[in-house]
Structure 1
Amino acid sequence: MLAFNYMYHLFSFTLLLVECMQGKDALMWYGPLTIVTLAQLMQLSITFEVVGSESEKLKDEAYCIPWESMSLSNQQAMMFFLKRVQTPIRVTAISMKAVGVQTMGGILKTCFAYCAFLRSLK
């Protein structure tokens, strides 16, 4: 679903940019929608980037817990938790591409390239 969402942003943002370049009237009609689409893409990408960076901090915080003074059952639970935080949380699209700010940058570059191509066809 996440991959489809990014593909939607790729195609819709490209088409909206092309429409905004038609003139002042088109910019007035499609400009706000273009800004909202860009804001949604940024919000989605930045959220996943923050989740990834905060999960990396979680590993350091978990190792600072004084597990030596805990009861045996708590030590076992802590061992399970320490094993879990070894790998940081990364949200991926179709279990292949990690999503984040770099993915957003790639989508924006591709949108501008497609937009330039479509403008050159006129």
Structure 2
Amino acid sequence: MIQTTAGNNNIIHVFIYLRFAKDISSIFKVGNTCTYIYFLSGSCVLLFICSSLDPEVLSQFLPVTFITFGNLIQTSIIYELVTAVSDRLPATVYNTPWELMDNGNRRTLLIFLQRLQTPVRIEAFGSLKIGLESMAAILKTTFSYYLFLKTVSDD
């Protein structure tokens, strides 16, 4: 393993970050999947319920609708921030003073650098990448389903 010096602490931080992203993806994969399915289906139903514009219904369901959309936005932004940090990791590893290392440590550094060529993303259920793109897709789909339900109910 690389000796712990002031110049090599970057490698340790990268390793901790990679472990964190892997642990979050594996621990919460079912939870994140269920949460995003709820955001997709629940938001559509909540919008449809609020479309009646009945004051009693609005007083009950409008706050829940705002909280649901707020939670979707917060969750997606947090995961996007984690992804943004991962985009800076290759430069951090490369800026480590590798010229002063022996061959064994250089090989270890090369392995880290190769691992970081693919961006670190937190995923739901191993395939759905969580972030702003998935949030935008959920919002588009939610409004499409809402308009579909509204059209069907008007007929």
TM-score by length of 1: 0.85
Q: How does 1:3-18 map to 2 (within 5 A)?
A: 3-18=33-48
Ranges in structure 1 where 5+ consecutive residues have no aligned partner: none
Aligned residues between the structures: 122
> Which piece of structure 1 moves more, 82-91 or 27-36?
82-91
Structure-2 separation of matches of 1:96 and 1:88: 14
Within the candidate set 62, 68, 78, 2:99 is matched to 68
Q: How does 1:31-110 map to 2 (within 5 A)?
A: 31-71=62-102, 74-110=105-141
- Residue 117 of structure 1 deviates from its aligned partner by 1.6
- Residue 78 of structure 1 deviates from its aligned partner by 2.5
Structure-1 separation of matches of 2:42 and 2:129: 22
Ranges in structure 2 where 5+ consecutive residues have no aligned partner: 1-29
- Residue 95 of structure 1 deviates from its aligned partner by 2.6
TM-score by length of 2: 0.69
Question: Identity rate of aligned residues, in percent?
Answer: 34
Amino acid aligned to 2:71: Q
RMSD between aligned alpha carbons? Answer: 1.8
